[in-house]
Structure 1
Amino acid sequence: MRKVLLTAFLILTLTVTFAGSTAAQNIPIDEITKITVEGNEYVSDFEILNAVKTEVGDQTDQEALRSDMQSVFDLGYFSDVNIVFENFEGGLNVIFEVVENPVLREIKISGNEDLYSEAEIKEALGLKVETVLNVKKMNDNLKSFQEKMQDDGYILARYKNVNISEEGVLTVEISPGYLDSVEISGNTKTKDDVILREMPIEAGDIVNIKRIQRGYQNLHRLEFFENINPELQRVDSEDNLAKLVINLDEAKTGRLNFGGGYSSTDGWLGFVDVSEKNLFGNGQDISAKWQFGDTTTYSLNFYEPYLWQSDFSFNFSIYDRESERTNSEGADYTRESRGGSLTFGHPLPRDWRTSLRYRVQDTKEFWSDDSGVIYDNSLRSLTLGFSRDSSNNRFHPTSGSINRFEIEHAGDFIGGEMDFTKFNWDSRRYFSGFKNHAWAVRMKLGLSEPRTPLEGEEYDLGGSDSLRGYERSDFDFEDRANNNLLLFNLEYRIPFNESFTGVLFTDAGNVWEERDSISLNDLNYGYGLGVRMNTPVGQLRLDYGWDEDQDGQLHFSIGNTF
């Protein structure tokens, strides 16, 4: 009987009433001359009587004694509490008869192997062996630990069995809740394995809603689907199994874009762009682009996110660019650049990625009247990069961040005529604003150690992608090189609808030849407003910025600012 009552209390809190004590049902109305405790071996009389409000000299009161019994029971040390009465010195001796819980000798945890360590769970329970089991404390701590499991994403985790034997062995068996299967519905083009590889959870894993949410974000970033609706469905309550059903609506991933316009970076331009982000449903990205005008560019790019079904990514890029330029003396010349790159990437813990890029570029400048070559140089470099993207939306992020750090080394054993080392850090952070508005903050730092002149590889400042209100030419100096850069951007973004977003911005930055010259007191400032339009081509940007002299500059470009 003792074990049955105690086991029941581990699940539900019993209500102690006088119905459990025959002697307490007919309470004699008399003065209380003594209050004692019987049945306790380990819990002191003082601790028990400290919970009793009735005092010697009081008249017996059924409701008061009922409350005292409950208070003693609520101490958590007892499986049963009764009250009996004895005559004592012309009054009554109120005797609290208690049945102590077993002395806790050992704690056994099972089912926790893939959740938490046994030491973590025992610490959360807060129980000490060789002491009387405090069931109230244990139940409170079990409830708190259940909430911790829920907060950590283990939404199916529950206690399968909690029991203590008469020998004092406490058994806590946890049922974590496992994923029975993953089903995909609605994908007519994208292959199942392309979808499943983006989910950081598979059949047989413990169900964790945070991992499912991260998989949803991974699928959303692919931009292969118009709608993604993951559902968790119970399969077997007894074995605590569930299945994940991913309902999808495919989006169009192939595009043929063409158009023209004016860019403050490249002048007047036209373009034809053919791309497929989900080649043959394999998740590969391929694109070819022809841009013509003041600058003519041919480029081909291919990206494989999972090379040979491994965690390595692969990117291949080649380009041929020719632009017409004018020097400070008004003479026209042509700049030709041909090159490409090979990049291998691999994931790191905590959603970081690392990459290694080999870049080749040959650059030549010659007078437009064919009177001779001005500049002829070759570049060979290796770049080690680290990046992490936790932003919640591609076009209008309101939380998260994007961080990228790169070290590029050219020359030496790599070859080429240029010899330098560059350190580049680009950090972006997004915050919610008023209603659905958003704050966007960016810091960009570029440091270089040139061992040959950085012609063509200097840092650019000014224009639509950096310091608005200025042209790039405003920071082209004949007497010094742009070897180092510091740039800050702040935007407040106000979406009008799904296609249009208004922007208020402030920019600050500068370029220096020597690293020792970098100073926050030597920054140039710009500010202004703009509008963004989401189109099949990408995001079109139109900004109008003012410099420190209040001179205005219109900036037009394609793609996100940051």
Structure 2
Amino acid sequence: MRARAWARGGLVGLVLLGAPATSAGQIDSPLRVRHLTFEGVTAIDESDLRRALETRAWPRFFWGDKDPFDEATFQDDLVRIVEYYGQRGYPEARIADASIQRLDGDRVDLMVVVDEGRPYIVESLELEGFDPLSAAELETLRDRLPLRPGQPLDAVLLEASEQLALFALGNRGYAYAVLDTSNRTGATFRSRRLTLVARPGLLTLFGPIDIVGNTGLGDRLIREDLVYRPGELFRAGLLRESEARLTARALIDAATVEVLPQAGKPGDVFTRIRIEEAEHRQYSLSGGYGSEGQLDLTGDLRHINFFGGGRSAGVSGRWSSLDRGVLIDFVEPRFFDPRYSLRVAGEVQVVDEPTFYTERAGGVLSLTRRFGATWPPDAPRTTASVSYTNSYDEFETSDDFEFGLGDFDDLLELGLNPFTGLGAGRLSALAIDFTRDTTDGSLNPSRGYAANLRFEQAGRWLGGRFTYNEIRADARHFLSLSGRVVLAHRLLIGTIDAPSDSIGLDDFVGPPLYKRYFLGGAESLRGWGRFEIGPRAESGLPLGGLSHLNLQSELRWLLPKGIGAVAFVDAGNAWDQSWRIDLGKLRSAVGVGLRLPTPLGLARIDYGYQLTPIDGLLVEGLPETRHWRLHFRIGQSF
């Protein structure tokens, strides 16, 4: 304690030498740090050192921590730097110089010069008393120890090595193993010979399980996620896996599995599960802005333990210039079996696209079956689901288009009245989905693939007006080329097989207009605007295709401060016939983009340039001669 106080006093004087004088009675406004610069920091990671300090440079953007500069805190940080080095095996480290440079206005620059000194080096690290481990397990443990001979004597790595050694014994059934560490001087004063000495104790079994903190959830729900049972051989890894499974539930904020002190029959391990439940009623409100949807607002109100058992029910709403509506849903996560879940949803939606305007009211009933392991979180996820959709839809073409006699047949083919541009009917459809996901599950994946295959059939035999069969697939692949570079690909392909025997509006049996495929925009071919690619009427009205193909590739670079840079190529088209993919008529574009972290999520700015322009393209009835588009949106492209 006395040494620490001496160090603080010396550092205070050192800091004040670099601070400008303040006249008597002057009250300074709060200062902000422009730059915090280190010199002499070579043996440790400078970014880790910065995270250990409370003094931070002012963020460059409008978000982030904006604490004003405090001289006393900075002095404490100088002491923290010395202590940090001591923990990392550099007991002779000291602050050689520190200065505060006052700039114009309310900004300061900070400079810290560190003399790291010479470290204590681990000469050897031996293991004794680990007889319960096989030769292979012992060798694996040696290879996995974070602290290794030749490294500085890092106290953090030493503690991690001790915990790993105890975990290895615990995973063999020795729950109450004890570990001592011998630290002796090596060949030189600054070298250390370390020995981890284990006392395994008795072989143990799992005993009774106690659950506390569980007020709104049933014990059965908690025990379902435990991967151990009383009477089984104790394994420490099963405790951690059970903890992680419980914590992964939306119903639980935190969960810990404790090994209680030895009690009862020798060899039995009593465990206690401590649960901190999440708030059952959850609210969220978010917003964003995009070049297509303009202002986008989303709100959600959800009860995640509706009637108990982990059931959830909620209502959500969305408003943007492209779509708005309200959805109510209920989810039964265990429909007679933990592998099955049932969802019932009802929705009222208005879609206002550049091509059409649609009002929909209806619902969806879906049953999903999970396959394979559900753990760990990055384990491949495979599901199959069957769903039934029933909705009444009214739709019409955009007011931006005027029709002539030449558009008569096109409008009939879309199920629209050629005199009014209106259409309506009931959609009744069955669908089967298969999904497979091996990505890391994040919003910005860096490895693995995700694929979805969907079969959908609508028909009058189901009580609806529209009749069609649809097959579509969505596949994405992510490959990490380095820690900061990811190569991403996406394939979208689909076709709608619609009857062609309609002779008038009353006996129309094809798909509704909004089910057709429209390409172009921020989500598909970024060299064009929304829905600018695909079959068109003489008036320029996008008719949508019955087949489509969309290919996208991106090279993503992660830059400092969470900023990303992207180079991309997009290709695709939509055709007016079922089962038709003409690779010779693909439209393509290239471009670059930026990804900026914001409080609302990842902001995406993309500039796309057309390699294969469309001659005579009409947008809102007017000729469009630009061969480039600029898109802005919240969220990754795919």
Instruction: Compute the TM-score of the two structures, normalised by the length of structure 2.
Output: 0.51
Residue in structure 2 matched with residue 555 of structure 1 by the alignment: 632
Mapped contact 1:422–1:446 kept (Cα < 8 A)? no
Deviations 1:344-378 (A, max 9, x none): 11222345222111112322124799994611233
Deviations 1:458-511 (A, max 9, x none): 2343333334443222224216614233333435263866xx553525252313
Corresponding residue to 2:552 among 482, 485, 488:
488
**Alpha-carbon spacing, 1:439–1:293, altered in 2? closer, same or farther (3 Å):** closer
Residue in structure 2 matched with residue 336 of structure 1 by the alignment: 359
Mapped contact 2:459–2:466 kept (Cα < 8 A)? yes
Deviations 1:304-335 (A, max 9, x none): 211356432011111111244555xxxxx742
The answer to whether structure 1 residue 346 and structure 2 residue 369 are counterparts is yes
Residue in structure 2 matched with residue 418 of structure 1 by the alignment: 466
Per the TM alignment, residue 296 of structure 1 is displaced from its structure 2 partner at its CA by 3.0
5+ long unaligned stretches in structure 1:
1-138, 160-174, 328-332
Per the TM alignment, residue 224 of structure 1 is displaced from its structure 2 partner at its CA by 4.5
The answer to whether structure 1 residue 362 and structure 2 residue 397 are counterparts is no
Residue in structure 1 matched with residue 571 of structure 2 by the alignment: 509
Listed as ranges, the matches of 1:18-29 within 5 Å are none
The answer to whether structure 1 residue 306 and structure 2 residue 334 are counterparts is yes
Mapped contact 1:419–1:450 kept (Cα < 8 A)? no
Mapped contact 2:362–2:392 kept (Cα < 8 A)? yes
**What letter matches 2:432 in structure 1?**
L
What SS is found at the alignment partner of 1:475?
coil
Distance 1:526 1:425 in 2: 23
5+ long unaligned stretches in structure 2:
1-130, 145-167, 175-201, 375-381, 400-416, 500-509, 538-543, 612-626
Residue in structure 1 matched with residue 443 of structure 2 by the alignment: 395
Residue in structure 1 matched with residue 606 of structure 2 by the alignment: 544
**What letter matches 1:552 in structure 2?**
R
Listed as ranges, the matches of 1:192-207 within 5 Å are 192-203=219-230
Corresponding residue to 1:404 among 452, 467, 470:
452
Per the TM alignment, residue 343 of structure 1 is displaced from its structure 2 partner at its CA by 0.7
Mapped contact 1:392–1:399 kept (Cα < 8 A)? yes
Corresponding residue to 2:348 among 320, 330, 334:
320
What SS is found at the alignment partner of 2:532?
helix
**Alpha-carbon spacing, 1:279–1:443, altered in 2? closer, same or farther (3 Å):** same
Listed as ranges, the matches of 1:278-317 within 5 Å are 278-279=305-306, 282-294=309-321, 295-307=323-335, 310-317=338-345
Instruction: Compute the TM-score of the two structures, normalised by the length of structure 1.
Output: 0.57
The answer to whether structure 1 residue 441 and structure 2 residue 468 are counterparts is no
Q: What is the alpha-carbon root mean square deviation over aligned residues?
A: 4.7
Per the TM alignment, residue 285 of structure 1 is displaced from its structure 2 partner at its CA by 3.2
- Which region of structure 1 is more displaced relative to structure 2, 353-362 or 237-246? 237-246
Distance 1:432 1:476 in 2: 34
Listed as ranges, the matches of 1:157-196 within 5 Å are 157=172, 179-180=206-207, 182=209, 184=211, 191-196=218-223
Distance 1:403 1:341 in 2: 22
Distance 1:209 1:350 in 2: 20
What SS is found at the alignment partner of 2:536?
coil
Mapped contact 1:512–1:518 kept (Cα < 8 A)? no
**Alpha-carbon spacing, 1:311–1:264, altered in 2? closer, same or farther (3 Å):** same
Mapped contact 1:446–1:459 kept (Cα < 8 A)? no
Instruction: Give 1 or 2: higher strand fraction.
Output: 1
Distance 1:229 1:220 in 2: 9
Residue in structure 2 matched with residue 378 of structure 1 by the alignment: 426
- Which region of structure 1 is more displaced relative to structure 2, 378-387 or 459-468? 459-468
Per the TM alignment, residue 383 of structure 1 is displaced from its structure 2 partner at its CA by 1.6
Listed as ranges, the matches of 1:28-39 within 5 Å are none
Deviations 1:271-318 (A, max 9, x none): 443234454764333332233453331211222211356432011111
Distance 1:234 1:521 in 2: 73
Corresponding residue to 2:515 among 452, 457, 463:
457
Mapped contact 1:530–1:542 kept (Cα < 8 A)? yes
Per the TM alignment, residue 433 of structure 1 is displaced from its structure 2 partner at its CA by 5.8
**What letter matches 2:529 in structure 1?**
E
Per the TM alignment, residue 382 of structure 1 is displaced from its structure 2 partner at its CA by 1.5
What SS is found at the alignment partner of 1:473?
coil
**Alpha-carbon spacing, 1:156–1:483, altered in 2? closer, same or farther (3 Å):** same
Per the TM alignment, residue 262 of structure 1 is displaced from its structure 2 partner at its CA by 3.6
Distance 1:469 1:203 in 2: 62
Deviations 1:232-257 (A, max 9, x none): 78979999765665555555564434
Mapped contact 2:354–2:530 kept (Cα < 8 A)? no
What SS is found at the alignment partner of 1:416?
coil
Mapped contact 2:253–2:276 kept (Cα < 8 A)? yes
Mapped contact 1:259–1:270 kept (Cα < 8 A)? yes
**Alpha-carbon spacing, 1:520–1:337, altered in 2? closer, same or farther (3 Å):** same
